[in-house]
Structure 1
Amino acid sequence: MTHYWLMKSEPDAFSIDDLKRLKKSPWDGVRNYQARNFMKEMKEGDKVFFYHSSCSPSGIAGTAKVSKKAYPDHTSWDASSYYFDPKSTQDNPRWFMVDVEFVEKWPSILTLAELKQDSVLADMLLTKKGNRLSVMPITKDEWEYITVMLKK
């Protein structure tokens, strides 16, 4: 059964264009336990909205799919990495990542403001006040509705 996700990245760190160029990439560096736990639920073939965050405008820039389920994030073991965590070891990893594969870059970003203005999406985690998770589940209905929004 396919699941649906929204994954955020700052475009100056890793953008939809970077993923398009690479075709596939690990999604590393997640250091929030709830986001990590969501990633551990991901399976190959799950669908992903690629969201550009901390930019203007923030919003959904395209789609990807999970191409490899969660595995230990080796950047947490590298003392020279920004994502180093001395409490994470190869024998007892704390952090995980998935691989994602490029599917589509949208012609324009579907902005957070546009998403928030639509009452149908009022219960979506992304549109709720105070939600800052970089990885979050979305429903199949939300996925389908947002896909239709793009085509308008």
Structure 2
Amino acid sequence: MSKQYWLMKSEPDVYPWDQLVAEGTGMWDGVRNHSAKLNMMAMKVGDEALFYHSNIGKECVGIMRITEESFPDPTADEGSPWVVVRVAPVRKLDRPVTLAEIKADPKLVDMDLIRLSRLSVGRVRPAEWQHILNLSEKDPG
């Protein structure tokens, strides 16, 4: 199966990109949405995800790799259905790509980030992934 791409949201005042980088690896926990959980259960080692700062910043800031597939979330009540994955930083984007840029781009209008705006873990199609990486390499002005 080919590599899949994802977007994973975190509030930067709770778990920012720089903390993941400092730790070297992280456990993506606390997800309490069934659709997001199913996306995490579909992740495979080697898949990549955009690290998205939600609420504050509202922008894609980095790329991380899935290093361990889903297992029960140790922060949840025993017997709950919630899962986590382990991730590691790959690299910071050349520049953040903002939600406003994504919303304004006709090539990205069908992204889960736009269509399912409350979803904390969503799929990213390969063409969307490449387009966001290209945007991060260009001056937004």
In the alignment, structure 1 segments of 5+ residues that lack a partner are 78-87
- Letter of the aligned partner of 2:93 in structure 1? W
Describe the SS at the equivalent of 2:75: helix
Residues 148 and 107 from structure 1, CA distance in 2 versus in 1: closer, same or farther, beyond 3 angstroms?
Answer: closer
Task: Give the C-alpha shift of residue 107 in structure 1.
Answer: 4.1
Contact 2:69 2:86 in 1 (8 A): yes
Alignment-derived partner of residue 68 in structure 1? 68
Distance 1:11 1:43 in 2: 25
In 1, distance between residues paired with 2:95 and 2:58? 11
Query: Could you tell me which residue of structure 2 aligns to residue 102 of structure 1?
Result: 89
Distance 2:60 2:117 in 1: 16
- Is the counterpart of residue 115 in structure 1 residue 116 in structure 2? no
How far off its partner does 1:5 sit?
Answer: 0.1
2:134 match: 148
Q: Secondary structure at the match of 1:76?
A: coil
Q: CA deviation at 1:74?
A: 1.1
Structure exhibiting the larger radius of gyration computed from Cα positions: 1
Deviation per CA, 1:37-92, whole angstroms, max 9, x where unpaired? Answer: 1100000000100000011x311011101000000001113xxxxxxxxxx42xxx
4+ residue runs over 4 A deviation: none
Aligned pairs, number: 137
AA aligned to 1:140 is: P
For 1:3, give the aligned amino acid. Q
Give the TM-score normalised by structure 1.
0.86
- Structure 2: which 5+ runs fail to align? none
Matched, 1:59 2:46: no
Residue 12 of structure 2 is aligned to residue 18 of structure 1: no
Deviates most, 102-111 or 115-124: 102-111
Q: Distance in 1 between matches of 2:81 and 2:27?
A: 16
Give the counterpart letter for 1:115 in structure 2: I
CA distance in 2, matches of 1:141, 1:44: 21
Deviations 1:89-109 (A, max 9, x none): 2xxx41100000011122432
